[in-house]
Every structure is written in C-alpha cells, then in structure tokens.
Amino acid sequence: MIIVTGAAGFIGSCLIDKLNQENFNFIIAVDDFSNPRKAPNLASKRIQERVDREVFFDWLDQNYHEVEFIFHIGARTDTTEFDRQIFEHLNVEYSKQIWHRCIQYQIPLVYASSAATYGLGELGYDDNESLIPQLKPLNPYGDSKNEFDNWALEQERKPFFWAGLKFFNVYGPNEYHKDRMASVIFHAYRQICQSGHMKLFRSHNPDFADGEQMRDFVYVKDVVDVCSFLMHHRRNSGIYNLGSGKARTFRDLAVNTFRALGLEPQIDFVDTPADIRDKYQYYTQANMAKIRSIGYERPFTSLEDGITDYVTNYLKADKYL
C-alpha cells in the first residue's frame, strides 16, 4: 500500500500514473476532492481508496500496518496567497503530523519542498542542508516550505528513511486546473493559441536582456522518476534539489512552444508589474550533484523535448497523463 497526498493535483496524479506503470495499484489517494476540475486527473488511475485529507490521520491510525510508503505531495502552493494561517495548517502542521506518524509506524517518507525556499538566490541554489536556516523566501508559501525543512532537520527522531524534494519550475500534463499557478509553458500555449502572440516580461535588470531571464524548468515525468527512485533506494535521507540542472531563458521557452505548434515566434514584451518587480527572480538553476551522488543516473528531459511532448501529446489533444 502506497499513500499519495495531493493525489488529485498536478504532480500527485502524475506520480500515481508512474506507480501504476510500475504495477503498484494498491494506492491510497489523499486530497480534498471537492474541486471537480481535478477529477480527470485521476479518472484513468488504478486507486484502492480515496481518503479526504481532513480524516486522513484517523484513517492512517487504523490502517498503518498495511502502509509501505508515503509520498506527501499535497500542499497549498499559491504563491500569491498571503494568509499565513492557511500555510501553517496545510503546509507545516499537517506535514509535522505525517512526519510523527512515519516515525511511530516505521513508514518511509518523501515530501514536497520547493525551490521557492531559495528566495532571490542570494546563497545560490545548492541543496546544502547547512545553508537552509539562512534562506530568505519571498512569500508565505516559500516561508512555509522552508519552515518545515528546518523543522525536519532539527528533529532528533526521524523516519528511518525520508527525503524532502525542492521542486523547481515543474511543467507538464495534468495542470489544467491550476489557473494562474499553472506553468509558463501552459500559459504560453493558451496565449499563442488565442492570439498568435506570446507576452514576456521586459527585463528591469541591466544584466539581463528582455526575455533572457532564466529558470530551471523540469518536466513532471522526470520529477516522478526521481520519486520512484527514492522509494526503491530508501537510503541517504535528506533534502534534495529537483530541477533539470540547466537554466533556460523565457525566450527559449516561447520559441519552443511556437515551434511545437508549427508557428513562427511572435513575442511581445510588457513591463514586469511594479508590485512584484523587486521580488522577481532573474535566474534559478538547481545544483543536481547531490541526487546524482546517491546513484540517480537518468538524464533529465531537455526543454525542447519536454515542450514538444507536452504540447503535442497532451495540450493539443486535451489529454491527461
């Protein structure tokens, strides 16, 4: 039995697909299932039971003896939400309860952290655990993820295996429901289909030309491959970056989305909104040496190949993973 929290969401549902591919079908899906727009994410998945997130701990206390692994992917991920109580409940306290039960019931754990913990990247993007207490996230979402990472590292008692994954800019199928929090590739596709043009933020940093701002974009299929590796590996507990390891420009992203649609690029530049301009990240790139050092050898999908697969096989076809 494998538990996936956030099961109806973007990464959680893709992870269940990966587990099903590996013939793990005794899946317990934990989420708030009230959003009908998430329902297609799980429509084709082999799941044993769905458990509402608010009764999950009672369920786990009754069924822990059957549980082999927990992937805690569920979280409030809205970077524009500023109600810290929501993040404290869903991202911090909820995660602590899972952590304590993984210790109590001897269950290995992989949980979702975030590259939002790195803030403006003043200390770089190395998953060196000694630096985590010094990180300065830019919003309450990043604060909540960093708070739990710090808390986990401070604990004397830990699950016999655990890993926190700092997801960078994840994109791919099953993010249709995410609206403004969907990936830039998703928004680029919609914008190009509707107008034939793509709008990118103008640079307000003299070190970067317009459209040359850079991010580490990682395909969701790579993310779930790493999750699967850790489930089988179960050694070398700690906090790991999970990006592609290669920063790419927004111009690259736009050009490749046009190309996947068979169109010539038509890119327009607009000013970055003043209210986010001082918190805008111009560069992120995951140092992936740590996960490589414990034996993860698969190559990460290039931005070109990831966008082609996503646009051609999912977005254009309106299909789910």
- Report DSSP letters for 170-210, one per residue: EE-SS-GGGGGGS-HHHHHHHHHHHHS-EEEEPP-STTS-T
Mean pLDDT by 10 residues, the chain (321 residues): 98 98 98 96 97 97 98 83 82 96 98 96 96 94 96 98 98 95 95 96 94 97 98 98 98 98 96 85 96 98 98 96 95
In this predicted structure, what is the pLDDT of residue 280?
85
Residues making up the binding site for NADP(+)? 10-11, 31-32, 38, 53, 73-77, 145, 170, 178
Distances (CA, A) of 291 to 133, 166, 311: 21, 11, 28
In this predicted structure, what is the pLDDT of residue 86?
84
Tell me which amino acid residue 113 is: S
Q: Within a 13 Å sphere around the CA of 218, how many CA atoms are in the beta-carbon half?
A: 30
Select which of 136, 158, 178, 199 is catalytic.
178
In this predicted structure, what is the pLDDT of residue 275?
80
In this predicted structure, what is the pLDDT of residue 84?
86
Residue with tokens 């990118």: 200
Helix 250-260 with 184-195: angle, nearest 10 deg: 50
In this predicted structure, what is the pLDDT of residue 85?
86
Q: Within 10 Å of residue 273's Cβ, how many Cβ atoms?
A: 9
Question: Is-contact 77 128, C-beta < 8 A?
Answer: no
Select which of 94, 111, 125, 141 is catalytic.
141
* CATH numbers and ranges of domains, the chain: 2-172+217-245+286-301 (3.40.50.720)
Active site residue 178: yes
In this predicted structure, what is the pLDDT of residue 183?
96
Residues making up the binding site? 10-11, 31-32, 38, 53, 73-77, 145, 169-170, 178, 180, 187, 201-204, 215, 280
In this predicted structure, what is the pLDDT of residue 172?
98
